[in-house]
């Protein structure tokens, strides 16, 4: 049974901002609680106080704007999966989020919690990063927007200040991108990713009528201290434009080199690096053929 922490229940975002500005002890937010409560069970000193933000309605909305979608940090994975525009145009995001935990977990867990937890294996992070998402961070008197790529500083570490909260995830519209996500885990459900790869590709026509790649985004999960973009492989594919067998093979080799995995209980370094290349190859094939 859990013990030794206290709970605060701000009723609005403003109250939450006031609370974190004034609280005098180490705290965690309780959004879905699926990370926090598990951590507290293992390690009772993980937090002395929980700030329950699970019922703050303002944080739980998805809005469509002219060139962006704005996802409240309190949006649950299940709600994100049901949002029609994402089903249509963000296949990589949908694939990743539908693999998180189980139906029971996805009904509780939030997008903001997946980001706030800052695990290099956080499955929604890769696709969001590939789509160039940003997060809005608010304190009682500041408001800043940070690229998701710049938000994480290490496993469990972010640029979030003690008096800030993630309010929104800002997702640029990208109707022209085709995307996909793949992972390797111990098994299909309720498993932490050993390696995950997100790929988003934009295509245009060459002057000679053949297809060329005009936009490439690759994100790698669980193979570095944070989720990362594979910039070298992205650049290589963009420069080569045409997805010949040789080009794809070289991109897979490059991506395996960009990974900086560790060996841990779930897998070892060599396997993880190599699998980045394999998963990227699968995704390129899938996206190029699906057109």
Partner 1 sequence: MPNRNFTAENLQLKDNIDICFKLNSRDVKIKVPCTYTLLDILRYELKHTGTKEGCGMGECGACTVIMDGGIVNACLVLATAVSGRDIWTIEGVSAKEDAKPIIDAFVAKTATQCGFCTPGMIMASYYLLSKYKDPTDEQILEGLSGNLCRCTGYAKIVEAVKAAARELNGAKKEARDA
Ligand X SMILES: Cc1cc2nc3c(=O)[nH]c(=O)nc-3n(C[C@H](O)[C@H](O)[C@H](O)COP(=O)(O)OP(=O)(O)OC[C@H]3O[C@@H](n4cnc5c(N)ncnc54)[C@H](O)[C@@H]3O)c2cc1C
Q: Would you count residue 284 as binding ligand X (CB under 6 A)?
A: no
Residue with tokens 């093979």: 249
3-state secondary structure 173-230: CCCCEEEEEEEECCCCCCCCCCEEEEEEEEEEECCCCCEEEEEEEEEEECCCCCCEEC
Distances (CA, A) of 149 to 119, 131, 159: 13, 10, 11
* Among 28, 32, 74, 80, contact with partner 1 (rule: CB under 8 A): 32
* Among 116, 120, 127, 180, contact with ligand X (rule: CB under 6 A): 116
* Among 67, 102, 208, 210, contact with partner 1 (rule: CB under 8 A): 102
DSSP class of residue 253 equals: H
Q: Would you count residue 192 as binding partner 1 (CB under 8 A)?
A: no
Sole window of 26-34, 84-92, 147-155, 244-252 interacting with partner 1 (rule: CB under 8 A): 26-34
CA distance 157 to 135: 15
CA distance 69 to 238: 26
Q: Would you count residue 57 as binding partner 1 (CB under 8 A)?
A: no
* Among 26, 85, 103, 172, contact with partner 1 (rule: CB under 8 A): 103
State in angstroms the smallest separation of the CB of 281 from partner 1.
25
* Among 17, 36, 94, 284, contact with ligand X (rule: CB under 6 A): 36
State in angstroms the smallest separation of the CB of 153 from ligand X.
14
Query: Quick one: what does residue 28 bind among partner 1, ligand X, none, with the CB cut-off 5 to 8 Å set by partner type?
Result: ligand X
* Among 26, 55, 204, 214, contact with partner 1 (rule: CB under 8 A): 55
Max CA pair span of the chain: 69
Distances (CA, A) of 284 to 195, 212, 281: 16, 13, 5
Binding mask 105-144 for partner 1 (x = CB under 8 A): x-xx-------------------------------x----
* Among 123, 136, 149, 234, contact with ligand X (rule: CB under 6 A): 123
Sole window of 7-15, 113-121, 127-135, 218-226 interacting with partner 1 (rule: CB under 8 A): 7-15
CA torsion sign for 112, 113, 118, 119 is negative
Q: Would you count residue 113 as binding ligand X (CB under 6 A)?
A: yes
CA distance 8 to 129: 32
Q: Would you count residue 233 as binding ligand X (CB under 6 A)?
A: no
CA distance 95 to 89: 12
Sole window of 12-20, 163-171, 220-228, 261-269 interacting with partner 1 (rule: CB under 8 A): 12-20
Cβ neighbours of residue 274 under 8 Å, at least 6 residues apart? Answer: 256
How many CB atoms lie under 10 A from the CB of residue 205? 10
Q: Which residues bind ligand X (CB under 6 A)?
A: 28-36, 38, 73, 99-101, 105, 108-110, 112-114, 116-117, 122-123, 160, 165-166, 190
């Amino acid at each position: 049974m859990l013990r030794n922490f206290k709970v605060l229940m701000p009723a609005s975002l403003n109250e939450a901002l006031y609370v974190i500005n004034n609280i005098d002890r180490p705290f965690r937010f309780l959004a879905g609680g699926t990370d926090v409560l598990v951590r507290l069970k293992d390690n009772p000193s993980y937090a002395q106080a929980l700030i329950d933000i699970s019922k703050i309605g303002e944080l739980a909305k998805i809005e469509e704007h002219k060139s962006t979608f704005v996802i409240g940090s309190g949006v649950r994975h299940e709600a994100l999966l049901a949002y029609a525009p994402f089903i249509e145009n963000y296949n990589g995001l949908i694939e990743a989020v539908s693999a998180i935990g189980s139906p029971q977990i996805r009904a509780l867990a939030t997008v903001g919690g997946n980001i706030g937890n800052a695990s290099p294996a956080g499955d929604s992070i890769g696709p969001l990063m590939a789509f160039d998402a940003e997060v809005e961070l608010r304190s009682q008197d500041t408001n800043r927007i940070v690229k998701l790529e710049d938000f994480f500083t290490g496993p469990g570490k972010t640029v979030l200040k003690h008096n800030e909260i993630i309010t929104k995830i800002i997702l640029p519209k990208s109707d022209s991108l085709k995307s996909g996500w793949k992972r390797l885990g111990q098994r299909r459900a309720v498993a932490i990713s050993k390696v995950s790869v997100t790929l988003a590709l934009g295509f245009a026509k060459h002057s000679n009528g053949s297809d060329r790649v005009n936009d490439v985004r690759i994100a790698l999960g669980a193979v570095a201290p944070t989720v990362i973009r594979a910039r070298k492989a992205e650049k290589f594919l963009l420069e080569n434009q045409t997805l010949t067998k040789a080009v794809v093979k070289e991109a897979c080799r490059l991506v395996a080199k960009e990974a900086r995995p560790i060996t841990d209980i779930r897998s070892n370094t060599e396997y993880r690096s190599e699998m980045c290349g394999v998963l990227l190859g699968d995704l390129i094939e899938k996206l190029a053929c699906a057109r």
